[in-house]
Structure 1
Amino acid sequence: MRNELILIIEDDRETRALLKTYLEREGYRTVEASDGEIGLAHHMKLKPDLVILDISLPRRDGFQVLAEIRRRGDTPVIMLTGRGKLIEQLQGYRCEVDDYIVKPFEPDLVVARTNAVLRMVGGRTANRPIRLGKLTVDQSAHAAWADQPTGRKDLKLTPTEFRLISRMASSPGRVFERAELIDECFPEDLPLERTIDSHMSNLRSKLDAADLRGMLVSLRGIGYRMDNPDG
């Protein structure tokens, strides 16, 4: 199950939209930035699992952004370049870029390289906790909790409820049909759709009790969606 967050720093709107579509189709979460300054701000705040970084950017170019990312830590970076000059590619490697792709490119190639880089780094970021507003879902610890003024409130979910919230929280805003949730969250059983509704009702009650009202949305006749209160 993917839940990695990919930061796309690219000044061309169409390229950003194309990458976003293909990466989210693969199951990744994405956030976009149109210049180097915004990209670095997102990197600092959101701690993405991988950055896709264009070289030619307003305000700060790709190499300046990469140098700052490396100063902060070891976030994997794939650089995009339309110039194709060997010296720039070598400069990127000296700054410890994980991979580079020369424009124009097929979006499937970017997805494949993203998969490969995340595998290469050993999945060190793959199990990073998912945070949606006050909700945190930590798959490695098999725990979910709400951050409250008085401290952390554990949700005390059943295994089935935890699988459901993990899957939906990994793609906030996406609508999951009941059949899809059955297929992904009930690997050994084939429950009736009303069984899913019962689990969701219990899950919603626990979210409400933790002051996380409105995050789990039911779409009549379709399925369910987990909303991010921070947008």
Structure 2
Amino acid sequence: MTAPIELYYWPTPNGWKITVMLEELGVPYEVKYINIGKGEQFEPDFLKIAPNNRMPAIVDPDGPGGEPISVFESGAILQYLGRKFGRFYPTDERTRVQVEEWLFWQVGGLGPMAGQAHHFRQYAPEKIEYGINRYTNEVNRLYGVMNKRLAERDFLAGDYSIADMASIGWVIPHERQGQDLDDFPNLKRWYETVMARPAVIKAIAVGKEERDRSNLATDKEAQKVLFGQRAR
């Protein structure tokens, strides 16, 4: 029996990307929680596999050549798992390019911009109107890009793929980003379709109790750990 993949995880939009993929694949995995509000992402053992001190990361005990391999960065993990198991990441070059375009669009755009919207709208110790408007408007623009893309196709790259898995978690907290999905009917249809998938439902629930116990919105000590970090 194959040993389970070790998933270093906290229930956030980036963490959900990997639980969604693993649940969709139906492969065994073991969750190792990295409580980002307690600074566990800075522990030396974790930094050995995730040098950017960010989760998620995985260790696959059955890596290339039968030797363990660690992978950090959510997009790289999705690509690795897609190649290994031959699902949700096409081998046809033309189709694969489309998946990669939208995967990197999420990694470089939707995630960072939505994250900044969360920060300035909820966590910033002072309300900075320029910052709030800047990132709320940029997320709105990106939602518009998705809405246009989804006007003529069911999913971002045609068939359901790692591009959709990467993006769904960042649309779940749309209200916290100041967005109304009714303004984006094609995006709303996609959102409801993806969120109804049994694997997605199960994946989003992973660690919910852990998340509920640590309220980052009100925990000032956790916010000190998360925000304002400099090189160590």
Instruction: Output the TM-score relative to the length of structure 2.
Output: 0.32
Q: Which has the higher helix share?
A: 2
If asked which structure has higher relative contact order (CA below 8 Å, sep 6+), I would say 2
Larger radius of gyration: 1
Q: Which has the higher strand share?
A: 1
Instruction: Output the TM-score relative to the length of structure 1.
Output: 0.32
